Structure 1
């Protein structure tokens, strides 16, 4: 079982100090995929970095600017271009003069029928973040750690002074993350989980929900959960050909039905990986209605 952490003391728009070098302001955009809302992080004092400005909500921009006061924003860092993470970057950049750093999305194939696209298609970073790129300010150092899987352009940021990682949606304390092809990639996700685990961070700060303060067993449980889901797909196909639509309510019977569309996304991620590995055969491009069978 994944040892989820879900309790969080907060108020929308309030700036909370959550560590010696980190403050957080949570946007009022709760939902089945955003949990309590998007947590925007301010790193440092006086000269700061802002991570994941969040959705384009005027009230959230006002709260961020109030929290920043007269401080200088040196960098606006984006983990990925989903609509709850990056849209406010342009307005925050205009208000502060800071440049936006992130990764452009890789070209994608056609989105399968029955799946929603939650990308911020207007997102264009001023600068492309490179693996290992360093951002510095008084008393703080951030290093870019690409973590593709949830999206092709997902990047986390390590705060060296606190041995912490701002993990975006790559690892979240309250829930598993969605791996949705064609932009999401399950094989890349497993590799990224291994990279984060090997780094030995003391704390993970997801964009949604509370921090993960014991990352190693949490990541182990995350990986075990994905492998178990993979085994469930293979077991379902061992009983005969079927589709993702038919598998979701069976494999996710304990999950809130509102999350079944997201579950279908992640199930598709597993199927694409298994097809790529030659363990599953798909009667056409994998999709929600495509008939699947064991190889």
Structure 2
């Protein structure tokens, strides 16, 4: 009941704010702080967090949600009683963009990445990618555990380039002979949080071979965005998985010039006739 009241208060605040552009936003907080506050408000019901969204310009790329604050508020009002949960595990900031990696209960338990774009200290655009929470993988990792500490801020651009090259060379072109340019050979060199894949190159190889045998190869057709802060880099791509058109959000942790840890979500992209807005899944 408590969560229901909080969600109702927040939804009411959103729908009210959408009609007014006069709410002030705090100059004390970073954009990362504001993004975390908005995500957390889904559980806490804190109406102050809505001040961090521009009520006159909020472009929504979640295709199941209507555009603007009205769409966001409408979804919150539909949440089942007592279900709201939002625990931000990781957050990184890259220029005007903030990425959050969150454990949700939002119409069921989900792993989710959110990307927010800011203008003049307020959120003006939002993307996300969701996947059902699954049991631990065969290496004992969940979709959320692992390192959370951001380091190597001076290597942000270098690490973004490494991930961009990895996505292009390995995931898109399939030049697997070059894999050791990006990932070490030992299973301990690459910690895997995908629920269906074990640690190391051996785990990745087994999973890809099984998909190929089933005539359902995982293919990346286009990379849309690379965002990073220090040793964490998020790649946003589209392609095919289980014979469905999907969005791939891959979060990598890097160390000493190599990829050492990986989290992801894979979400099917619905047919356009089912979209609740016309902004598309990507549009960066």
Q: TM-score, normalised by structure 1?
A: 0.26
| RCO comparison, higher one (Cα < 8 Å, 6+) | 2
Q: TM-score, normalised by structure 2?
A: 0.26
